[in-house]
């Protein structure tokens, strides 16, 4: 199950640099591509807004 980013995202960029497969893209809030996400959870671990959760 891929991770998703909810509306609590403040687009700080912390998760992008931590994703080992570059599954996260920038925007008003960031988005995780479920076809690329390996479900490692690293992004959720570093998110200061607690905006990333399993889908």
pTM listed for this prediction: 0.90
Q: What pLDDT, in 10s, does the model give residues 16-28?
A: 999 999 999 998 8
CATH dotted code for 3-54:
3.30.70.20
Q: What pLDDT, in 10s, does the model give residues 1-55?
A: 899 999 999 999 999 999 999 999 998 889 999 999 999 999 999 999 999 999 9
Distance CA 34, CA 55 (A): 9
* Most distant CA pair in the chain, distance: 24
Q: Where are the domains of the chain?
A: 3-54
């Amino acid at each position: 199950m891929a991770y998703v980013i909810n509306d609590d995202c403040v687009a700080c960029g912390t998760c992008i640099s931590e994703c080992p497969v570059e599954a996260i893209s920038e925007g008003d809030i960031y988005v995780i591509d479920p076809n690329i996400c390996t479900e490692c959870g690293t992004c959720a671990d570093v998110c200061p807004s607690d905006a990333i959760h399993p889908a």
